[in-house]
Structure 1
Amino acid sequence: MSKSAALALDQACKSGTRVHGETLVAALGTDGSHYKNSCFHHSAGHVLSPPLRPDPTTPLSLMNFLAQDVLQVTGSDNCTFTKSQKELGKEDFTKIPNGVNGVEDRLSVIWEKGVHTGILDPTRFVAVTSTNAAKIFNLYPRKGCIAVGSDADIVIWNPLAVRTISAKTHHQAVDFNIFEGMQCHGVPEYVIVNGRVCVDEGQLRVVEGHGRFIETPVYPPYIYDPEKLASLKADKNGVEEEVDHLQKIHQGHRLRL
């Protein structure tokens, strides 16, 4: 995301439009200056869509937008390619596979660039990495919080631990990392997913096939104004039936027409 895009979101919100914004950890942790690197593998390794912006102040600006609630969530958009796969575009830039890493390092990079620098407090960190996304997808409080009845998805975070990100030590099966050499204060020591320990002192303990589909109910109150939604369903032009129809499709019900 660019600074101008975030400013457009801010202006829309101030004008009364309900809109939410996301930025990627790649845009928070680095910038587009790497595209000028003379090493093909280095420059191509940073190619993704939307591209990283050349303005070196972009990461700091986006982090401030997260702190100010102009942006609400962060994503990884994880889509990795090896150096040899990126070489598909060595003679034609348009053929470089778009995608970078992010899922493994997202929390550490955001903590380092946000909390460790004093821009975000720990509560806001949780909001932009977990809670707000759960609310947007109407999964809260099942997801996005620790409470009785919520799924046992928990990260045990060590804010005092320090690690240096490197392709030589990360868990992903890829030989490049856009955050190479970044020192991060703050490490997830344990990760519990649905009650199962998946990361134990930094080591993966995942079980194949453990993931499952989770339905996301329509019309999250975090997004939709209840009064406007009620007005929409009462529209005389058949909108009510259309809304019900779309809701049933979204919830995975089979309709008999």
Structure 2
Amino acid sequence: MIGGFRAAPKPRTVTRETLAVTLPDGRCIDVQRVRDPRAKRMRLIVGLHGVRLTLPLRTSEAAAAKFLREHHGWLVDALGRRGDAPAALQAHVTAQLPLRGVAVPVLWQTGRLVRIGLEGDAIVITAPEAASEAALRRALRDFYEAQARADVGRWLPRYLGGLPRAPSRLRFRMMSSLWGSLTRDGAMTLDLALVLGAPAAFEYVLVHELCHLLHMDHSPAFWREVEARCPDWRMHRAYFREGGRGLKPALHALCAGA
């Protein structure tokens, strides 16, 4: 107490530490353990930057260790579904790149400037022998965005009928969790990683966001609109929970910072 007033408590802050964890298959992985005053329960996720275990502040060490042990099997499955991210793009070395659900061969040419284009069944990259990683990342990101915009440009006209308006604008971003979003003024954002995966799943995400022009929620009425335009939406949604888990880490490995 100071002058009749109680001193304000020190703010509770987020703390982080890295643990080495050995899985049942023999792999040793790093797990970031986070104590967060906002956390209501223990939560384990496999994300772009690895494995994270979030704990409420009062969780004991024993309870945290038990929770992690009980989820070792889940971790093995989740890491397997995510797959290994490709190595960073290396000038005149990288032999293939992901695009539209397949690994596309890369053909290298020597030139003064970095340029990337799709020619037939191959991605053709023109670059200096000692092209910088930053220049390659920027060019690859621009290439992926051009391909994604071409896909949306083909699909969009078939869905505009029955909608109150077209999206006011469209942008692509490297999103950490969502695959798409739509603001109330009609601005649509799509995850650039979508162009790496199955085209039908990418198209479903477009339909999903377009239907938010009719219903800004996930009510039964919203899902009826989605189903009318994309009857297989459940299959495509499942794709992102299974085989599509590796798309975000792949794009991050190839283009982060561009």
Q: Normalising by structure 2, what TM-score?
A: 0.24
- Structure label with greater radius of gyration: 2
Relative contact order (alpha carbons < 8 A, sep ≥ 6): 1 or 2 greater? 2
Higher strand share: 2
Q: Normalising by structure 1, what TM-score?
A: 0.25
